[in-house]
A and B are shown apart, each in its own frame.
Chain A
Amino acid sequence: MRWLRASGLAALARAALPLLLLAALWEAAVALLHISPFYLPPLRQVLGAMLALWPAYQEAFLVTLGEAVVGFLAGALVGIASACAFHHARWLRDMLFPLFVASQTVPVIAFGAIVVLWFGNTLLAKAAIAFYLTFFPVTVNALAGIEAVDPRQVALLRSFGASRRDIWWKLLLPSALPRIFTALRLSAGLALAGAIVGEWFGASIGVGAMLLAALFNEQVVAMWAAILAAAGVGGTIFAAVALLEGRLVFWRDEL
């Protein structure tokens, strides 16, 4: 089993196998159960539609990925920075945290039209919505991770003469990393949802724009194709987070 762990190729195979099974199940179900293409078109028809317009799907994929990633990174940075600030300054936390919570009680769709008024039809408009969805879970989890550190460990480091900076970089942040990455994994999907919702407010390019056009023109095949493209975007961000996590939180398996 050791070789299975080591080889990247094998890891890829392990990831691909369930996907292939799912694809086979999709095809078989449509064929055997005589499902109307209006409800679920055969997978090969969906893939065919994507192949036929590959450059268009590629462009949409990259545009939406860009929007989601910019929003995701901004959300991650602001989230981690807020958590550090909140841990450091209790008064700041008392002042701002309720606002953070309140911001999350407003459904993001309510902001869509306003974001378009502010930013127009730009990448920033979609990234802003992706940011809005991601910064909160990161803040909450990073803060919880930092607060979970045993105060005796902090005291121990202090007794050895560690500076505040040392304590942050050598104890608090590394201890919080597993929880931060849990939030980042969650946020990968949220950032994608944010980018797609952003595109529903008058974007010309992107997976969300494609989804909307297919939806309102009742093109079922194009709808599924857009859904697969969206899954591609979400999967890419998630994979990137998981890869980074493997590098940074190398001790996770030992926990």
Chain B
Amino acid sequence: MMTMQRRTLLAAGAAALAAPRLGAAQGLLKATLRLKWLPQTQFAGFYLALERGYYREAGLDLTINPGGPNLLTENLVASGGEQFGVSGGTDSVFSAREKGLPLVCVGVTHQVTPFVFAAKADGPVKTLEDLRGRKATAWFTGAHLVLFGMLASRGIAKDAVSISPQQVSVTPFVNGEVDVIAATWYNELNVLKARLGGVEKLKLFVAEDYGITVPRDTVIVNEPFAQANPRAVEAFLRASIRGWKASKAEPAAALEAVMKIAPTIDRAHQTAMLPECLRLMTAGAAAQQGLFTIDTTAVKKAHDFFVEQKVLAAPIDLAAAYQGQYLAAIPLAERLA
């Protein structure tokens, strides 16, 4: 109670000092959306929805806060300091729920594994078997487990490959110090294509081909907030869907909405990022069930994979963690991109 009061006091002081609001919006619910990374077109739909007032029309006075290397969206949303979040993925939702953090997933952005593993087409790694004794890097936030799983599906022990944590730069791979690298379809893969001269210079290993799928970029909500404000959650999803549909129809406008927030980022890279993100968002079950759909089969598959990998000590209650009722309240026609 004490801390709540203090927080409210601090927040009130902060708001008064930092953002003197001219005529506080009447009847709008104030809320924040914390992203999983720095502003880029990976989040274009949210920024466009904000710019065009879709959230206001849905009754939300929303602020979008970027993520970054030092932040965990799950913690910020679980603390109640922020209400909505685009978090790591189904994997991070599992682990947050396992830790008992009060958050729920109400939508999934990227319907399939958003990253692949890439090797050079003219390099020594043509098949996963060739990885034995070679060097690979992957983000140790979960991508490395997917690689372990892919190797396991071919009967390759994970210690047969030297797998180390991947840093931001793709330069070690380009320079040949590393044979296989993790790359998101929308970010690193575009960088690799540009630096190596086309996708044909790369050999890609796709998780789904090895029976593994990890949908990512999950939309999470603070659990007590969602219980107290189910209409706000629905409104948030409705406005976000509008924003993403508008981004698909007018990618140039979506790009500008992001560039306005982060004017110094590379325009060409951002332009290339958007269609890849849209492809991941409309893949799989989303084609029939619309944007943000929670594909329970895919979630279950990812969950079982992480249990099998002993990342989760025990199965978690998926029905409690993944709540599709907020999306279901929006007519299907509205959700289809």
Looking across the interface, which residue of chain A has its beta carbon closest to that of B72?
A113
A116 within 8 A of B: yes
Interface-lining segment among A75-83, A182-190, A196-204: A196-204
- Please tell me if the beta carbons of B70 and A113 are within 8 angstroms of each other in the complex: yes
- Please tell me if the beta carbons of A53 and B168 are within 8 angstroms of each other in the complex: no
- Please tell me if the beta carbons of B32 and A204 are within 8 angstroms of each other in the complex: no
> Quick one: given A118-B10, A119-B10, A120-B11, are A212 and B264 in contact (CB under 8 Å)?
no
- Please tell me if the beta carbons of B264 and A210 are within 8 angstroms of each other in the complex: yes
In the complex, which range does the number of interface residues on chain B fall in? 35 or more
- Please tell me if the beta carbons of A217 and B67 are within 8 angstroms of each other in the complex: no
Which of the residues B70, B264, B265 comes within 8 Å of A201, measured between beta carbons?
Answer: B70
- Please tell me if the beta carbons of A124 and B17 are within 8 angstroms of each other in the complex: yes
A129 within 8 A of B: no
Most B CB atoms within 10 A — which of A124, A210, A215, A222? A124
B261 within 8 A of A: yes
A45 within 8 A of B: no
Residues in chain A near residue B68, CB distance under 8 A: 200-202, 212
B232 to chain A, nearest CB (A): 18
- Please tell me if the beta carbons of B13 and A124 are within 8 angstroms of each other in the complex: yes
> Quick one: given A117-B76, A117-B81, are A202 and B265 in contact (CB under 8 Å)?
no
A30 within 8 A of B: no
- Please tell me if the beta carbons of A222 and B81 are within 8 angstroms of each other in the complex: no
> Quick one: given A213-B262, A213-B264, A214-B264, are A121 and B63 in contact (CB under 8 Å)?
yes
**CB contact list, B229-275 vs A, under 8 A:** 261-266, 269
- Please tell me if the beta carbons of B15 and A122 are within 8 angstroms of each other in the complex: yes
A115 to chain B, nearest CB (A): 10
**CB contact list, A73-118 vs B, under 8 A:** 109, 112-113, 116-118
- Please tell me if the beta carbons of A219 and B264 are within 8 angstroms of each other in the complex: yes
- Please tell me if the beta carbons of B71 and A202 are within 8 angstroms of each other in the complex: yes
Looking across the interface, which residue of chain A has its beta carbon closest to that of B63?
A121
B53 within 8 A of A: no
> Quick one: given A213-B262, A225-B264, are A116 and B71 in contact (CB under 8 Å)?
yes
A63 to chain B, nearest CB (A): 11
Residues in chain B near residue A209, CB distance under 8 A: 66, 262
Alpha-carbon gap, A222 to B262, bound state (A): 12
Residues in chain A near residue B134, CB distance under 8 A: none
Interface size on A, residues (CB 8 A): 34
> Quick one: given A204-B65, A218-B168, are A120 and B269 in contact (CB under 8 Å)?
no
Looking across the interface, which residue of chain A has its beta carbon closest to that of B263?
A56
B18 within 8 A of A: yes
B160 within 8 A of A: no
- Please tell me if the beta carbons of B169 and A53 are within 8 angstroms of each other in the complex: no
- Please tell me if the beta carbons of B265 and A217 are within 8 angstroms of each other in the complex: yes
Alpha-carbon gap, A44 to B198, bound state (A): 31
- Please tell me if the beta carbons of B264 and A222 are within 8 angstroms of each other in the complex: yes
B314 within 8 A of A: no
Looking across the interface, which residue of chain A has its beta carbon closest to that of B261?
A204
Contact with A along B49-67 (1 / 0, CB 8 A): 0000000000000011111
Alpha-carbon gap, A53 to B19, bound state (A): 24
Alpha-carbon gap, A37 to B81, bound state (A): 42
B109 to chain A, nearest CB (A): 19
Residues in chain A near residue B263, CB distance under 8 A: 53, 56
Alpha-carbon gap, A121 to B269, bound state (A): 27
Alpha-carbon gap, A119 to B10, bound state (A): 7
B148 to chain A, nearest CB (A): 26
- Please tell me if the beta carbons of B266 and A219 are within 8 angstroms of each other in the complex: yes
B310 to chain A, nearest CB (A): 28
B296 within 8 A of A: no
Residues in chain B near residue A125, CB distance under 8 A: 14
- Please tell me if the beta carbons of A204 and B69 are within 8 angstroms of each other in the complex: no
B164 within 8 A of A: no
A198 to chain B, nearest CB (A): 11
B187 to chain A, nearest CB (A): 9
A39 within 8 A of B: no
B34 within 8 A of A: yes
Most B CB atoms within 10 A — which of A119, A215, A226? A119
A123 within 8 A of B: yes
A251 within 8 A of B: no
- Please tell me if the beta carbons of B13 and A53 are within 8 angstroms of each other in the complex: no
Residues in chain B near residue A250, CB distance under 8 A: none
B325 within 8 A of A: no
| Leading 8 A-B pairs by shortest Cβ distance | A56-B263, A122-B18, A123-B18, A124-B14, A122-B14, A121-B65, A222-B264, A119-B14
List residues of chain B with CB under 8 Å of any chain A CB: 7, 10-11, 13-15, 17-19, 32, 34, 38-39, 63-72, 75-76, 79, 81-82, 168-169, 191, 261-266, 269
List residues of chain A with CB under 8 Å of any chain B CB: 49, 53, 56, 109, 112-113, 116-125, 200-204, 209-210, 212-219, 222, 225-226
Query: A120-B32, A124-B18 given. 8 additional CB < 8 A pairs?
Result: A113-B70, A119-B14, A123-B14, A213-B39, A214-B264, A216-B38, A216-B168, A222-B265
Q: List 19 A-B contacts (CB under 8 A).
A: A56-B264, A109-B70, A112-B70, A113-B71, A117-B76, A119-B14, A120-B32, A121-B65, A122-B15, A122-B17, A122-B19, A123-B17, A201-B70, A202-B65, A202-B70, A213-B39, A213-B264, A217-B269, A218-B168
